[in-house]
């Protein structure tokens, strides 16, 4: 999802808040504070996130969409492998659907992203949206 969103941001398909009214470091710290007590994996500091973001932004958008489609395919395979152990868990099924749909969307964007707008559908999962093309 990260790579797809970075590519969409590079192409102006999603808006970023104005830096005058937003502090990304504060948002990052607030979102990940809940995981601060976990020993494994260790919490990545904001500076490390910015380093990864900077390296990711150097990749052109079409390649990022292609990489994102591979990541969605890999996530789908992992979820399908654990689905049997989950005994029909609705969350797992919904996440597989999100991965399948976003794999297709990111593949389409890798081939042709011009004149396409993105919308986010959170109806299947509250944290991982289905991305739709308009």
Give me the number of domains the chain comprises.
1
**Structural domain of residue 115, as residue ranges?**
2-133
Q: Label the pairing between strands 118-121 and 130-133.
A: antiparallel
Token pair recorded at residue 24: 């990304």
Tens digit of pLDDT for each residue in 34-67? 888 888 888 899 999 999 999 999 999 999 999 9
pTM over 0.95, yes/no: no
Q: Give the DSSP per-residue string, 31-96.
A: HHGGGTT--SSPPPPHHHHHHHHHHHHTS-HHHHHHHHHHHHHHHHHHHHHHHTTTTS-HHHHHHH
Residue 109 clears pLDDT 80, i.e. is over it = yes
Establish whether the linkage from the previous residue to 64 is cis, with ω within 30° of 0: no
What pLDDT, on the 0 to 100 scale, is given for residue 88? 72
Tens digit of pLDDT for each residue in 61-71? 999 999 999 99
């Amino acid at each position: 999802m990260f790579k797809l969103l970075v590519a969409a941001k590079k192409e102006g398909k999603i808006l970023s808040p104005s830096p005058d009214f937003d502090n990304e470091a504060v948002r990052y710290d607030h979102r990940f504070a809940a995981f601060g007590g976990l020993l494994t994996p260790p919490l990545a500091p904001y500076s490390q996130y910015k380093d990864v973001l900077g390296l990711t932004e150097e990749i052109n958008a079409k390649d990022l969409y292609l990489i994102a489609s591979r990541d969605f395919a890999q996530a789908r395979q992992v979820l399908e492998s654990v689905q049997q152990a989950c005994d029909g868990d609705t969350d797992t099924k919904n996440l597989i659907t999100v991965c399948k749909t976003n794999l297709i969307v990111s593949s389409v964007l890798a081939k042709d992203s011009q004149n396409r707008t993105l919308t986010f559908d959170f109806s299947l999962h509250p944290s991982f949206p289905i991305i739709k093309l308009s």
